[in-house]
Structure 1
């Protein structure tokens, strides 16, 4: 994935057209695999790459991870994309599980730029009633406590989005069973 290509595509073309095209491809599973593999790179792996002179590979992994998360965020911002991801429990739970893994990874190595995209993904998911209901149970604790306070200290927009996410999840739970996912929720 060429990050500049995706930024260009989203900035220079009709987003609805791009979203419709991306939803017809395997881009979401690809992005989720990249996001998962990037969040699983341990500190030991990073140190090993740094010490071996392969620091460029770490930057490549970070950039790929950020671009994949950006693409997912752009898909979610679109109403068609949000509906697609929240259409089935399997799709939603896979996205929620990967975002949760990213939060756990970001709690160890805080990166404000990547955290911004993750929070925006969660915030957009909270606009869907079924996803909001599920997020009440599976949102990582690190987003509810002060884990990211120092990271967000100078980032007012991400702080605002996180506060809005938490506010969205505080509203009264849905009692209509048709508006909830059936099945077990992804772990926190």
Structure 2
């Protein structure tokens, strides 16, 4: 599999490669806003490259460039899609540490850094060692299971599980494993 070109985030004048695609959730909720181009690239399946920045305690979209042709020409669509620049739609945790590797690894000797964002507003930077992160994830999972957010996840799995093969216990295991990507609100 070809490694994908990653979006970036600037925080305190340092650029980080993101392992999550912050804008994809927005396009899932508002598919009519996603531009359609007839070109694809094995290193850029999503079709665009985004650059974010935490500036003045806001998550801003500096660039959103869309792939337009086979020669890798790009078209800037940031002002067209996000004219306000602030990415108010996003809430969640953005991981920025150097320990994540290619697959979001969590080595036992790692220090894990997350930026907490709520409705496009920077709340705080959270730093964990391995055991602190595991405890945080476990607590987040417990709160997530009793939150209103959980029904959206279950609904997604119900819609995509017509044969009833995937059971709720299995879905909960997936949520626990990926809790940092599922949460939009930090509970603890």
TM-score (norm 2): 0.34
**Greater strand proportion:** 2
More helix by share: 1
Larger radius of gyration between Structure 1 and Structure 2? 2
Q: Structure 1 length as normaliser, TM-score?
A: 0.34
